Structure 1
Amino acid sequence: MAQKTTVARPYADAAFQLAQAAGALAGWGEGLAMAAAVVEDSRVAAVLGHPRVDDDRKAGLILDVCGDALDTRQRNFVRLLVERNRIGVLPEISRQYDRLRAEYEKTLDAELISAHPIDDAARDRLAEALSQRLARTVSLQTQVDESLIGGAVIRAGDLVIDGSVRGRLNRLTSALSR
């Protein structure tokens, strides 16, 4: 995993710089995500890993499946990854690109997991409070997990706020066992 991250970083940086220069951050994000999904497909992965399939056919397969979703520079980017035998790290490149884009646009996807459904007004207040605390525009997705017993858990990037009853019980158990 660490090796894929290291290998993917310069490619993600290059893709981000190309997208930024072209004013097409969203388009590049969508294109990379689509191409990454194609590469992750088990049938495509089998062809990409086959030693008798040449680079042109490998790139052609990915580009054919993606169709018109990729512009000329994105298509060239895919070809470059195939030529340099880096196409397998395309999913990681896409993830790193998304992080760079989110950092640049000062956005953050957060998740609110609660024991009970949260109404829209409370969700919006929480998203606003997180936006102010993190100095980013926060997009908050909600999910219900009844095993939490009560309370909620918020995950926003590296930040985790565990205000669930289950989390409090786990912390209490840990403290008592010391």
Structure 2
Amino acid sequence: MIELSPLARPYAKAIFSAALDAGNHEIVAKDLALLSVLSQTQEVSRLIEDPELSKDKIAQTIIGLADGEVDKLANKMLELLADNKRLNLIEAINTSYQELLEQHNNTSSIVVNVANLPSEDNKNMIIEKLLSEHGEGSNIEFSEDPSIMGGLSIKIGDETLDLSIRGKVKKLVNQLNF
């Protein structure tokens, strides 16, 4: 499968810039999230991939499905994507836009993987440390993953800090096999 991020990034930057100028970057973020969810449904993904339908008709159908909940800026983006035959980029544009919004707001989406959910005291200590490092508005989510055996793994954007037992064992195995 082709990586869509490089294709989506210019569209995301353009709509983000336009949304900042209009002062509605948070609204556009919600609109793109809605359009992304819509584009992932089986019916809409079939529409997007159907070579017999005109791209403008597909864009108007998606706008109709959003039922007036999408701002005019997001509608214009859909029409532009239809003109350029890039409606398959909606989900990737949403992801890139959310990253741009996080950078603009100096926040991060952080996922903390743990073998067992920590006590409230430990959880609050982890949250406090992450918020002080990555911005008070950061979104922190805890996820239970027994396969890491112990410790924790922290994913911030596209970077991962692996402090798990599984990660340390893999590192040791790699060093022994070198």
With structure 1 as the length reference, what TM-score do the two structures score?
A: 0.87
Deviation for aligned residue 1:169:
2.0
Does the C-alpha gap of structure 1 residues 176 and 47 become closer, same or farther in structure 2, counting only changes over 3 Å? closer
Unaligned regions of 5+ residues in structure 1, if any? Answer: none
Rounded to whole Å, the distance in 2 between the matches of 1:77 and 1:173 is 49
Rounded to whole Å, the distance in 1 between the matches of 2:51 and 2:149 is 53
Root-mean-square deviation over aligned CA pairs? 2.0
Q: Percent identity?
A: 23
Deviation for aligned residue 1:120:
3.1
Deviation for aligned residue 1:115:
1.6
Rounded to whole Å, the distance in 2 between the matches of 1:48 and 1:161 is 37
Does the C-alpha gap of structure 1 residues 163 and 50 become closer, same or farther in structure 2, counting only changes over 3 Å? closer
Q: Detail structure 1 runs of 4+ shifted over 6 Å in the superposition.
A: none
Does the C-alpha gap of structure 1 residues 50 and 173 become closer, same or farther in structure 2, counting only changes over 3 Å? closer
Does the CA-based 8 Å contact 2:113-2:153 persist in structure 1?
yes
Rounded to whole Å, the distance in 1 between the matches of 2:15 and 2:127 is 30
Rounded to whole Å, the distance in 2 between the matches of 1:40 and 1:155 is 24
The answer to whether structure 1 residue 126 and structure 2 residue 126 are counterparts is yes
- Between 127-136 and 53-62, report the one with greater CA deviation: 127-136
Superposed CA offset, 1:36-67 (max 9, x none): 22223232222233333223321221011111
Does the C-alpha gap of structure 1 residues 146 and 40 become closer, same or farther in structure 2, counting only changes over 3 Å? closer
- Between 97-106 and 15-24, report the one with greater CA deviation: 15-24
Residue equivalent to 2:72: 72
Rounded to whole Å, the distance in 1 between the matches of 2:176 and 2:23 is 56
Does the C-alpha gap of structure 1 residues 115 and 51 become closer, same or farther in structure 2, counting only changes over 3 Å? closer
Deviation for aligned residue 1:100:
0.5
Rounded to whole Å, the distance in 2 between the matches of 1:44 and 1:59 is 10
Rounded to whole Å, the distance in 1 between the matches of 2:47 and 2:18 is 29
SS in 2 for 1:163: strand
Task: Report the residue type matching 1:176 in the other structure.
Answer: L
Deviation for aligned residue 1:122:
2.0
Rounded to whole Å, the distance in 2 between the matches of 1:56 and 1:173 is 54
Does the CA-based 8 Å contact 1:108-1:136 persist in structure 2?
no
- Between 77-86 and 164-173, report the one with greater CA deviation: 164-173
Does the C-alpha gap of structure 1 residues 68 and 121 become closer, same or farther in structure 2, counting only changes over 3 Å? farther
Superposed CA offset, 1:120-170 (max 9, x none): 332232122223334564322111222222211111123322222222222
